[in-house]
């Protein structure tokens, strides 16, 4: 089972991808995380990507596609993949479809987390990530128990370098002008599922699982109890 989560920055797709990966035993792959790791390590791809990343622009397709397809080579024992932040352009979507079909696989469902632009801007301004694993928190909508410290791994929280007001505006603009076309691409393939992303993390997670259930997708047994509470 292979899923894609599409949503603007601040729609909660990173958080939902982490939850769904655990519940459905999928390997999570976040293009933004892979890029941040490559930039931090100073790999050739990271160096090429950095100027685009720093401006809040899309990194060229060939760099991102190569990085993602390499990451998908090894499923680490998972039942499939859940992609977060990729694809963001039609050429990326086509490259992904082609690679999966070469392996006799395909994307099964694409979940669009729908959140209006004004709510997104407000959420992004309050967003913090942990320095150890990039777990995402929000001082307004998803605070940690101890301010400034990740609940999961106790590492300090920081604001992302591209979460400044100008870069947020630029990234949202790109999403609503460019990435939004992917919805038509996947709608025409009959794979698109729209979920209202304005509700709480738990409610959105429940809504996603509820929409997948009629398609035969259910959490693995040991997670079912937690998901139902
Ligand atoms: P994210 O963490 O998903 O918000 O991504 C952070 C930044 O990484 C974006 O603003 C882009 O510069 C870059 N990026 C992430 N995913 C992609 C992608 N699929 N295509 C192009 N650039 C990307």
Mutation choice for ligand 1 from 7, 16, 31, CB with most ligand atoms inside 8 A: 31
pLDDT, tens only, 142-170: 899 999 999 999 999 999 888 888 888 88
Q: 10-25 in b/e burial notation, b at 16+ Cβ within 10 A?
A: bbbbbbbbbbbbebbb
Give the closest residue (by CA) to ligand 1 atom 10. Answer: 56
Q: What ranges in 25-176 are assigned the alpha helix state H?
A: 31-41, 44-55, 61-72, 90-102, 117-125, 165-174
Given a cut of 50, whether residue 227 has pLDDT beyond it is no
* Catalytic site includes residue 127: yes
Residue boundaries of the structural domains of the chain: 3-118+179-228
Confidence band for 141, pLDDT divided at 50, 70 and 90: confident
Given a cut of 70, whether residue 228 has pLDDT beyond it is no
Q: Rounded to whole angstroms, how far apart are CA atoms 19 and 205? A: 7
* pLDDT for the residue 103: 86
* pLDDT for the residue 220: 67
**Cα 65 to ligand 1 centre (Å):** 11
Percent of the chain having pLDDT more than 90?
A: 64
* Catalytic site includes residue 171: yes
Confidence band for 140, pLDDT divided at 50, 70 and 90: confident
* pLDDT for the residue 79: 84
Confidence band for 123, pLDDT divided at 50, 70 and 90: confident
Given a cut of 50, whether residue 195 has pLDDT beyond it is yes
3-state secondary structure of 6: strand
* pLDDT for the residue 224: 41
CATH fold group of domain 3-118+179-228: Rossmann fold (3.40.50)
Tokens, residue 51:
């100027």
Instruction: List, chain by chain if needed, residues with CB within 6 Å of any ligand 1 atom.
Output: 9, 31-32, 35, 52-53, 56-59, 64, 85-88, 92, 162, 171
* Catalytic site includes residue 13: yes
* Catalytic site includes residue 145: no
Q: Rounded to whole angstroms, how far apart are CA atoms 156 and 220? A: 32
* pLDDT for the residue 202: 93
Q: What is the mean pLDDT of the chain?
A: 89
3-state secondary structure of 169: helix
pLDDT, tens only, 52-95: 998 889 999 999 999 999 888 887 778 899 999 999 999 999 99
The residue that leads in pLDDT, 62 or 228, is 62
Least confidently predicted of 57-71, 102-116, 120-134: 120-134
**Cα 32 to ligand 1 centre (Å):** 5
**Cα 149 to ligand 1 centre (Å):** 25
**Cα 135 to ligand 1 centre (Å):** 17
* Catalytic site includes residue 88: yes
């Amino acid at each position: 089972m292979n899923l894609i989560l599409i949503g603007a920055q601040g729609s909660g797709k990173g958080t939902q991808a982490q939850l769904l990966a655990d519940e459905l035993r999928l390997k999570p792959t976040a293009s933004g995380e892979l890029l941040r790791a490559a930039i931090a390590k100073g790999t050739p791809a990271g160096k090429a990507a950095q100027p685009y990343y720093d401006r809040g622009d899309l990194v060229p397709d060939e760099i991102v596609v190569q990085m993602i397809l390499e990451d998908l080579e090894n499923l680490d024992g998972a039942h499939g993949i859940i992609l977060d932040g990729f694809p963001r352009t039609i050429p990326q979507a086509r490259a992904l479809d082609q690679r999966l079909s070469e392996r006799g696989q395909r994307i099964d469902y694409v979940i669009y987390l729908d959140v209006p632009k004004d709510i997104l801007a407000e959420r992004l301004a309050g967003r913090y990530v942990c320095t150890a694993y990039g777990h995402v928190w929000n001082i307004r909508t998803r605070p940690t128990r101890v301010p400034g410290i990740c609940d999961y791994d106790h590492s300090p929280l920081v604001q992302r370098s591209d979460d400044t007001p100008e870069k947020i505006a630029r990234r949202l603009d790109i999403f609503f002008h460019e990435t939004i076309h992917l919805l038509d691409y996947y709608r025409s393939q009959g794979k698109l599922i729209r979920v209202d992303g304005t509700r709480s993390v738990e409610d959105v997670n429940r809504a996603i699982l509820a929409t997948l259930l009629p398609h035969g997708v259910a959490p693995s047994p040991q997670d079912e109890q937690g998901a139902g509470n």
